[in-house]
């Protein structure tokens, strides 16, 4: 009778847990969430850039006023 040595390391356990979790995912819900997250991120980025531009304009206006 042959004996098989198996290693029970954390990597194989993590991989097995991940494989089980990904097998049970609802992909339509995941894609809907990804689309919503991308749209939300784009809106946040637009507001962030607009705020930076306005802050820079206000700082330049303040510098000119102080001179």
Longest dimension (CA), the chain: 92
Answer whether residue 8 is part of any domain.
no
Answer whether residue 14 is part of any domain.
no
Answer whether residue 6 is part of any domain.
no
The pLDDT assigned to 10 comes to 78
Domain of 48?
A: 27-67
Q: What end-to-end distance do the CA atoms of the chain give, in Å?
A: 92
| pLDDT tens, residue by residue, 42-60 | 999 999 999 999 999 999 8
Answer whether residue 31 is part of any domain.
yes
Domain count of the fold of the chain: 1
Answer whether residue 41 is part of any domain.
yes
Answer whether residue 53 is part of any domain.
yes
Eight-state DSSP code of residue 60: H
The pLDDT assigned to 42 comes to 97
Cα separation, 16 vs 55, in Å, equals 50
Q: What is the pLDDT along the chain (67 residues), one digit of tens a residue?
A: 676 666 667 788 888 888 888 887 777 888 899 999 999 999 999 999 999 999 999 998 888 877 7
């Amino acid at each position: 009778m042959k004996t098989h040595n198996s290693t029970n390391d954390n990597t194989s356990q993590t991989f097995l847990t991940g494989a089980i979790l990904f097998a049970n995912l609802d992909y339509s819900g995941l894609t809907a969430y990804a689309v919503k997250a991308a749209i939300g991120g784009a809106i946040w980025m637009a507001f962030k850039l607009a705020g930076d531009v306005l802050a820079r304009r206000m700082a330049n206006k303040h510098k000119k006023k102080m001179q």
